[in-house]
Structure 1
Amino acid sequence: MVLIYPSSLIAATERRTALVIGNSNYADGRLKNPVNDATDIAAALKKLGFTVTLRTDADLRVMKDEIDKFGDSLKKGGVGLFFFAGHGVQFGGNNY
């Protein structure tokens, strides 16, 4: 669940940064909605004044790199939001 508040509740001078990841491709099947969900969330956040990094079907290396960059950017202050759509874990062909 992601809560999005109207931009008037966030100070106008505060940096707003978001990392949005949607993964649909998995070794044991494809999910229909994560990429669409991530794309929709990214668009909504941009309308609220966020600088958005959107990654779709990112592998583990790309996800780690983007999360590290996102964390580093938050050290400069401001508001940060992370959104992930996809499976939490895949083990033995089962998705959780």
Structure 2
Amino acid sequence: LDLVVNVDPPTDPKDYLHRAGRTARAGESGRVVTLVLSGQRRETVQVLAEAGIEPRTTKVRSGEAELSRITGAKAPSGTPLDGGTAAGRAKNHNA
């Protein structure tokens, strides 16, 4: 993998390193983006410090172009994964 995006920040340094390590297989390098809400910032900074990580931080808001640039997100294609339309699919009543 060349990119790992944490949308639920790990609370343990070992978990963070395990996830981040997926970007560095077979001598390759990669990038880790950890999305953090303001209430998670202090704990996440502590976890990263314990993991020996010095993060580069960027403050963004949902929907900003900077967020897409950082995460590598692309605009949705509009095509459902199963090839059908949402209106044409039967509802799952067992859920």
TM-score relative to the length of structure 2:
0.35
Greater share of strand: 1
Q: Which has the higher contact order (CA 8 A, sep 6+)?
A: 1
Task: Work out which of the two has the higher radius of gyration on C-alpha atoms and give 1 or 2.
Answer: 2
Greater share of helix: 2
TM-score relative to the length of structure 1:
0.35
